[in-house]
Every structure is written in C-alpha cells, then in structure tokens.
Amino acid sequence: MRFYRLGLPLLVATMLAACQSAPQKNVPPADIQVLKGPTWIQGGDANGSEDITIVTPYFAFAIAGGDKAGKAGSIVDMALVENGVFGADRIVSLDFVPGEEAMTLNAIDITQQTPERVVIEVDRSWNGHRLLSRYEVEKAYPGIKLSSQLENPVGKTLFAGYRLVQNAAPEAAEGAHKVLTQAVVGHWSQGQLQQGLGALSETDDLRRSYQPSQQHSFDAWLSAGSLGKVLADELVTGASPNTVISLYEYDDSSNFEAQMAKLRQRWNRGERVYLSANHLLRGPRQNSGRLYAYTPNGKFSADFASAVGRGHSFVSFGPQVYAAGTLFGEEISPFSESRVELRSEAGLSKAEVWLDGEQVAGWRINGAKVFRTGVPVPPNYTWLQWVVEDRNGNRAYSNPIWIKKRG
C-alpha cells in the first residue's frame, strides 16, 4: 500500500482503524494499530491529515506524512507507557541524516501490517540521490529497527547516520542506576541478544564519517524499552519507570577478540561504549557468550537495555565476574579499591586486571567456584577491566570502570 505526499490516503490502514481513534482513555492496545491523521500523543507535533501514528502495547510514535518543515518521513513524536497509560511526547525528531541538505518526500509505503508486526518504507530524495528508509516494529519488542540506504553512493565523504533529538526526559526512579555497596548476585540478569547489535552505548547520535566505498546501508535500533529479542528466560517485557529512549548501532563483526581490541582502543580515547553479546558473536573458543547486566529493580527488558547501555554489565563465555563495589561503567577514584566476586561451576583458573589496554596484574585460582578479590586503583589511568578464566579455558570480560582524573 503506497500513499504519496498530499496524495492517495492510507486506504487499507484507514479501513482497519475505521473505528479507532486514540486508544480508549489513553490505555495501550493489545495489538499494533496504525492510525492516519493528527496524532493523539500529548504534546505531539504530527497534526497533519497525512501524518501516521503507530500504537503498540508499550509505546507509540508518529511519522510526518506531509511536508512538515523538512521533516517529512521522520518520526516526530513518541510516547511511552507510564503507569498504565501513554505519557507525553518524549522526542523532537528521529531520522537518518545524510548531510546538511534538505530531503523531500516521494512516497510512504506500509509494506506489512498485522496485529503483531508493521513495516513502513519511506522514499525520499536528497541532494539528487534517492534515499530509502525503513521502520520495522514488532508487538513483542518495544523498539524500532531502523535502516536507510542511498541508491547510489555519494562521491564524497559523508558525515551521516541516525540522530535522535529528545525532549527533556523525566528523572529516573531513585536508585535506578545506583552504585553497588555489596555483591548481590540475584540483582543481575543475563541474556543473549538475537540481533547483531555491536558496541553498546546509550546515545542520541550515531553520525560519523563514511568514505564513498562505505556508503551502503545504515542500520540502527531505537530502544523504547528493549534491545529486541533477547534469549533469556527471566527477562519480562513491560513498562518500567526506568525506560530510556536511545539509539544502538548494528555491527557485522562475529569475532569477539576483534571487537574487544577495537573497544579497548576506543576506551583509551575515553569513548563510553560497551561490550555486547549477540548470537553471531563468537569467543576465543568459538562459543557464543551471554551478557550479564545489573538490574536491581527487577527483571524488565527496559532495565536490562538501560544497564547495558551504561556499561553496568559483563560478557561471559563460561565464568562470571560480578562487581562487588563500584559498578562496571561507573567512575572510581584513584587509591580506592575495585572489588569483584568471581564464580564458575567448572572451577576458576585465573584472574587478570587490565589498565588502559595492558595487563598489569594476574593470579592463579586453584579451582575455587567462588572467589572474592580486589585491587587498589592507581592514578593517571583512564580505565580498569577485569578478566577471569575457568578451568575449561572459557573467559568472562567486564566492561571498564572509569578512573577519575586527579585535580
């Protein structure tokens, strides 16, 4: 189904939603709905007759269907479920930005619409090039899979990528991201991402420089409470007061050691990006890993997504390395102590401490299943990382703890 700017209306979508307007009393629906016309999102900007609102059980968003100050085809509104109802608009805009020149809308297609899944494709022109963008939403996972492609590479370096502009978000619940005072293993959730997300970081801007040979497809995930499908028995998808809207980028890397080397270089530059564990990624022994995240307020997918975006997590290919003091991803003062609790059913073999990309300490562990230890934090370094190995040769890697600068 295709409708053109100021042209043919969304006939099928309108028929499916003929008896629908805003969700009853602002209550989330059981299935995905697609509504045409001015959005009902409180404080929203999508107020034109060609605008579209997509409503899911966990969040809603609106796409500008008309020529709205150069935002046609962009997501211009988004609301999350808060206390059982939809809250106010949380964003100004979300879109792929190929450069400074304006884009014009050619057409929007709803290529798939069922109660469980909606796919929308946007056809635009930019600087003489055709730009195709795609929004994919599934009922089960609060988020949007984003992809854009320039039909022909631009013959110059592009500073391009997805950019999210947010309104001021409500303050997180007290203690949502608190620093640990003691190890509580039950406060950690674990899972394996089922899509190829790369280095994790809560960010609003994925733009960076691309050479002409790199200008193929641009893919990202917009989390509105999840990282998509996660292979985990304990995570619950649902509204959480700690839900954060943020962007994550895809990565086609399948080698963990290569990812680890790149991340350590980025950590040396002070970039706060963090380890991932998706189903494609293989460790040193070619087994897949799992991501453990600190979720003290419950096993919600939103809390899991927010924790790994902040680096409150570690990747395990067997053993576990739990923060027992300052959380991974947090800052620590020089001359204080970084403490961990190491665990392995197979028995622990050794532990290592890394500072700014170099191993500076290590010791053997004679098969203990639980081992608690700590090290003093030296000054004049940027980050500290723990690595642990079990008796089978499998490893776990913490995210960095950032060392505060003196003075």
- Distance CA(352)–CA(321), nearest Å, equals 11
Nearest to 51 by CA among 74, 27, 17: 74
- Distance CA(188)–CA(304), nearest Å, equals 9
Do 247 and 91 form a contact (C-beta atoms < 8 A)? Answer: no
pLDDT tens digits for range 67-78: 666 789 999 999
Tokens of 348: 């622990």
pLDDT tens digits for range 362-395: 999 999 999 999 999 999 999 999 999 999 999 9
- Distance CA(312)–CA(179), nearest Å, equals 10
CA distances, 380 to each of 84, 271, 356 (Å) = 48, 17, 10
pLDDT tens digits for range 144-201: 999 999 987 788 889 999 999 999 765 554 444 454 445 568 889 999 988 888 889 9
This prediction has a pTM of: 0.88
Q: What is the mean pLDDT of residues 49-61?
A: 96
Topology given in CATH for the domain delimited by 185-205+253-403: Immunoglobulin-like (2.60.40)
Do 385 and 375 form a contact (C-beta atoms < 8 A)? Answer: no
Q: Bin 76: left if φ > 0, else alpha if -120 < ψ < 50, else beta.
A: alpha
Tokens of 79: 């609301």
Q: Where are the domains of the chain?
A: 2-139, 185-205+253-403
CA distances, 162 to each of 8, 131, 141, 206, 309 (Å) = 29, 13, 20, 5, 17
